[in-house]
Chain A
Amino acid sequence: MRRSFPILVCFGFGTIMLAQFFIPSKLSTGAYNEITNWVQIIYAFALIVGVVGLIRYHLSRVSRRQGGWFFNLVTVSSLFMMAFLGFVWGRGDHSPFMWVFNNMMAPMQATVFSLLAFFVASAAYRGFVARNIEAFLLLFSAVMIMFGIASIGNSIPPFSDIANWILMNPSMTARRGIFIGVGLGTIAVSLRVILGVERTYLGKE
């Protein structure tokens, strides 16, 4: 029962969601909207479980004085501080909550995002070493596209034309091949889950 009931639920809802794609009626779209609302409700409850788990995890590390316990303390303190600011002063445009969000959270997230530029540079430096003919082709394509898309190269017709050709032909061909593979894999996984063949995600036997 512990396993057959979830499989039955999966089969039922999987079949309903598959069928609604082909049925445009009010009943079908209503059922779709209702089910997606349920997903949101489940997510909200799961978020509570996640936050409780997060507090438990970090507090246990603080209490045991494990390595880096100070960072755990900062995490838990920040969590409670944001909740306190939100509950007491609300989340209006000029609230303390939004001040912290705009002046601390947003810059920190932007900082991590901006690291991507340096990581792209280091990955490209390592990946574009022309060890063999395939690596040379990769290097050549990358250089052409970089020149073709950059503002200077874009004004020089050969670079922009070559870059466009590479993007629209070999690159697009390879991507579509991957899309077909991903699409088939997605259908196969969905069918395995709906039919109950795939059960690993259910956990306990």
Chain B
Amino acid sequence: MKCFFLITSFLTFLFPQAFAFELNVSDQPNDDGTRLAIRWDPLPPDELRPIDPESYLLLRSEESDGEYIQVDIVSSLDPSREKIDEKLTEGQPYFYKLVYSDSAISWESNVAGPVAPEENWYNTARTNVLIGIIITAAFVGWFIILGKKGKSLYLRPIAGLNAMDEAIGRATEMGKPILYSSGRGKMERPASIASMNILGSVAEKVASYGTPLIFPNNDPVVTAVAQEVAREGYTKAGHVDRYDPDNIYFVTDSQFGYAAAVDGIMIRERPATNLFFGTFEAESLILAETGNSIGAIQIAGTDSSIQMAFFIVACDFVLIGEELFAASGYLSGDPQVVGTLKGSDYLKVIIIILILFGAVVGLLNQEWFVNLFLTA
């Protein structure tokens, strides 16, 4: 073994290019200047081929001949042949080497470096996302301007939203309350914002009819916003006296505690209409099935495709995909909000064209088109 190592070392000395194992280090692009990428040739190097070690030590130093510290253990089976060294100091040059040693042999790769991590101010890998957002914003902005100018914009009928009046009317006729839930989403989620917008329209309608609106809540921030939104709805309808803040209250932030509480309210209060709009998780079917068992008419909308399937089975009407986000414009008829929905519709047309084009290009085995949509 030692003989082989001596021979390969001697040959490497004579013909360095033929036996060279390369370890490279480079700045990791699109980061905050704290990472370097270390890449290496396939392992094992020629000198270690007879013993083929399973792992090597990756060492780092701030000086070429200074003290090296262990950064990581590199597996010879790692197909990526790359490690990202993190939490480094921006502008500080670093050196790296791979080493292997046992009782018989000691091997070191070339010293890679010096390379200093550099801070980047623009993530080039996300340019495609930026272009997508600019196109989206341009479409939405254009239709908002059209809406401001008063141009009439047609919105396709959405069955779940058309049924809203009927559902509220049914509760009024039966003299029973309406139960509203925004699920488990925090206020920063777009689905929760969309839910609050729908709540505003629902509150305005129930205020006119004098139907109680019960909204047990899972998040204290959403509770505070919901109380304000509902009060505003009652005020708009001219019946602020009918607004009862005790009907919109925080229950618990525990997922199944919330499900149990809402189920209990349904069983005790027997609402005629259940409205589920927002972000739902595993509690969706527990709520919807309990609502179904008491005979309530149920309308639901969520941004989770998995929970949407449960709602479709258990509810009378379900808002699918972007219909949840379209609801506030649809219900309020605000031309600016409707304008954003028209913008989204036109974007869908563009996406469909891109998908069809991508399918054709994919059949021709051209990967460049797919690569345009990759991000990091």
Contacts and interface: CB of A to CB of B under 8 A. Distances in A.
A, B bound: yes
Interface of A: 18, 21-26, 28-29, 39, 42-43, 46-47, 49-51, 53-54, 57, 60, 67-68, 71, 105, 108-110, 112-113, 115-116, 119-120, 122-124, 126-127, 175, 177-182, 184-193, 195, 197-198, 200-205
Given A25-B119, A29-B32, A54-B250, A123 B314 contact: yes
B121 interface: yes
Given A112-B260, A200-B196, 14 more contacts: A46-B221, A112-B256, A112-B259, A127-B314, A178-B308, A182-B303, A184-B344, A184-B348, A184-B351, A185-B190, A185-B344, A187-B140, A189-B194, A200-B197
A187 B136 contact: yes
Given A25-B121, A181-B322, A197-B340, A190 B190 contact: yes
A187 B373 CA distance: 17
B285 A198 contact: no
Chain A contact residues, majority secondary structure: helix
A17 B110 CA distance: 43
B122 A205 contact: no
Contacts of B310: 123
A53 B249 contact: yes
Given A57-B246, A191-B340, A123 B32 contact: no
Contacts of A198: 193, 197, 328, 337
Contacts of B193: 189, 193, 198, 201
Given A54-B250, A188-B140, A175 B305 contact: yes
A152 to B, nearest CB: 24
A181 B321 contact: yes
B224 interface: yes
B220 A49 contact: yes
8 pairs of A and B residues whose beta carbons are closest in the complex:
A181-B321, A203-B228, A50-B220, A185-B325, A185-B322, A50-B250, A112-B256, A127-B313
Interface size class of B (residues with CB under 8 A): 35 or more
A188 B328 contact: no
A170 B324 CA distance: 23
Contacts of B111: none
B337 A203 contact: no
Nearest to B230: A203
A188 B344 contact: yes
A53 B288 CA distance: 27
A4 B312 CA distance: 40
Interface stretch (B70-78, B95-103, B126-134, B173-181): B126-134
Contacts of B254: 105, 109
A187 B139 CA distance: 12
B307 to A, nearest CB: 11
B32 A191 contact: no
